[in-house]
Structure 1
Amino acid sequence: MDIDLLGALAVREHGVSITPTAPKPRQVLALLALNADRVVPAATVIEELWGAAPPRKARSILQNYVLQLRELIGAALAQARDTVPRSAKDVLVTVPGGYLLRAGEGRSDVREFERLADAGRRALDAGDPTRAVRRLSEALALWTGRALADVRTGPHLHPQVARLEESRLCVLEQRIDVTLRLGRHRELLAELTALVSRYPTHESLCGQFMLALHRSGRRGEALSAYQRLRTTLVRDLGLEPSAALASVQRSILVSGPSRPAADDLSLTPHRPREAHAATGR
């Protein structure tokens, strides 16, 4: 089974889509796929679908959604040429108290993202920044949009989607940081311009944007970026910029208008202080 979650939901068995079009069956499949090969209690699925006020016949409705998914799985299996025949119930398994989706040895974009991100970090630890940028970029390229962009998210899917988005943002920051270390600041300017617009209170991205601008000889724009972020933080959150970002601003102020060397400035990695920074919501 191949599972794509980093964008629109797409689940395929032997290359055949088993993704339903109706919203709630999609939501069920998304929850099972995100927790593939792990038991998801029926109570968890019901809470995901209806929150704290499920309908009286919630379990019967859920069983009907599972039946619809099994019909799609069965149609896909009918086209397969497995040496060991399987039924839809072997793939979407009913266990005491819940359900389990068997993904087997198929591809999962979430697993691939995590594998490539780990490979990038190991390359960086090994002193190979070029390889680190390559692997981190490959991890980010798996994303085609917001995780589960076309699926309604309830109280269980929503935090898992937020976790994925936060992981993506962490990898993005790491890739930009390593690219800056390699002196490739000019090629980051367009991307960072879009990112600071999307995340207007995200301090790490703003700091990276300031460094890229200053190292490209655009000192005034770097200082203006700091002032914009400070105004937004004070107005929206009642906060001043962090000490790390203020240090970057001071370094730019004292460095003069000339372009600094690649290692003249640094931004200590830190997390954004607002809860919604990672998801853009």
Structure 2
Amino acid sequence: MTGPVEYSLFGAIEACVDGTPAALGGPKQRCVLAVLLAERGTVVSVDRLADALWYDEPPAKGLVSLRSYVSNLRRCLTAADTDAPVTRLETLPLGYRLTLLGEDRLDLATFEHLVDEGRAALGRDDAKLGFDTLTTALRLWRGRPFGEFADHEFAHAEVLRYSALRRLAIESRFDAALRLGGGSELIPELEAALANDPVHEKLWGHLMLALFRTGRGPDAVGAFERARDTLDREV
């Protein structure tokens, strides 16, 4: 049986088959894989794939090219020494379907699972487990979901969803750290997070609390004023 496949969609479209990086080919072929992974377990129509590849102007032999991309991907996602490969990428009457099998992993799905687990731990007042789990989740974020295809229409909703989930994970991780008694060591991280997301109100609150805990009351008041001015200006 073929070894497990680890798919990566954060920052770049990549796959490792049984620990070996797969040669996924050019941008069009990687785009097909990205669309199939976005709809993993669901049949993706030929028309939808064609729209993702060529928008409204498919070439004369677009269908032939699409079949070639799928065939190449099917081969790429099978270990070279496999005698009886399993079928991850199926050709069906209405299109194509990519399924995660056995120990296959997708970084986006793992990220979402870890964020859910971390926030659930916080809900049980297990701040230590919540902090560790959310830290692990955020380490998976290596760039925008779907990488070079993040601005394509097929990826738009998922990019927004995962970006919002990351925002929530960052907020929840600081919440966990503060519950554990964190203070001065969090301030640089909070300032950096706010530089990237200056309208994140809860992060401003976390910063004020961290400053107050370290005896920097005036700086905490200053943070409040900065938050008020920023939100007034930006929102």
1:159 is displaced (CA, Å) by 1.6
Residue in 1 aligned with 2:152? 154
Within-5 A mapping of 1:82-97: 85-86=84-85, 90-97=87-94
Please say if residues 50 and 58 of structure 2, whose CA atoms lie closer than 8 Å, have aligned partners that are also in contact: no
Rounded Cα–Cα distance in structure 1 between residues aligned with 2:223 and 2:19: 47
CA separation of 1:149 and 1:227: change in aligned 2, threshold 3 A: farther
Please say if residues 213 and 219 of structure 1, whose CA atoms lie closer than 8 Å, have aligned partners that are also in contact: yes
Rounded Cα–Cα distance in structure 2 between residues aligned with 1:139 and 1:189: 21
What amino acid does structure 2 have at the position aligned with 1:79? D
What amino acid does structure 1 have at the position aligned with 2:97? L
Rounded Cα–Cα distance in structure 2 between residues aligned with 1:3 and 1:109: 6
Matched, 1:69 2:73: yes
1:56 is displaced (CA, Å) by 4.8
Moved more, 179-188 or 5-14: 5-14
CA separation of 1:210 and 1:190: change in aligned 2, threshold 3 A: same
Residue in 1 aligned with 2:232? 234
Query: In the TM superposition, what whole-angstrom CA distance separates every residue of 1:8-47 from its partner, at most 9, and x where no partner exists?
Result: 3221222333352422221211121233222222222222
Aligned CA RMSD, in angstroms, stands at 2.4
Number of aligned residues:
229
Moved more, 203-212 or 222-231: 222-231
Structure 2, gaps ≥5 residues long: none
Structure 1, gaps ≥5 residues long: 238-281
Rounded Cα–Cα distance in structure 1 between residues aligned with 2:157 and 2:23: 22
What amino acid does structure 2 have at the position aligned with 1:50? W
TM-score, scaled to structure 2: 0.84
Residue in 1 aligned with 2:37? 33
CA separation of 1:234 and 1:194: change in aligned 2, threshold 3 A: same
Residue in 2 aligned with 1:218? 216
What amino acid does structure 1 have at the position aligned with 2:57? P
Secondary structure (helix, strand or coil) at the match of 2:187 reads helix
Please say if residues 150 and 159 of structure 2, whose CA atoms lie closer than 8 Å, have aligned partners that are also in contact: no
Choose from 92, 95, 108 the match for 1:98: 95
Residue in 1 aligned with 2:21? 17
Secondary structure (helix, strand or coil) at the match of 2:7 reads strand
What amino acid does structure 2 have at the position aligned with 1:55? P
What amino acid does structure 1 have at the position aligned with 2:200? H
Rounded Cα–Cα distance in structure 2 between residues aligned with 1:54 and 1:203: 44
Secondary structure (helix, strand or coil) at the match of 2:147 reads coil
Please say if residues 2 and 103 of structure 1, whose CA atoms lie closer than 8 Å, have aligned partners that are also in contact: no
TM-score, scaled to structure 1: 0.72
Please say if residues 27 and 152 of structure 1, whose CA atoms lie closer than 8 Å, have aligned partners that are also in contact: no
Residue in 1 aligned with 2:206? 208
Please say if residues 37 and 103 of structure 1, whose CA atoms lie closer than 8 Å, have aligned partners that are also in contact: yes
Structure number with larger C-alpha Rg: 1
Moved more, 35-44 or 63-72: 63-72
Secondary structure (helix, strand or coil) at the match of 1:183 reads coil
Query: In the TM superposition, what whole-angstrom CA distance separates every residue of 1:226-271 from its partner, at most 9, and x where no partner exists?
Result: 333333333343xxxxxxxxxxxxxxxxxxxxxxxxxxxxxxxxxx
Within-5 A mapping of 1:253-268: none
CA separation of 1:182 and 1:78: change in aligned 2, threshold 3 A: closer
Percent of residue pairs bearing the same amino acid type = 36
Residue in 2 aligned with 1:54? 57
Please say if residues 40 and 98 of structure 2, whose CA atoms lie closer than 8 Å, have aligned partners that are also in contact: yes
Rounded Cα–Cα distance in structure 2 between residues aligned with 1:225 and 1:231: 10
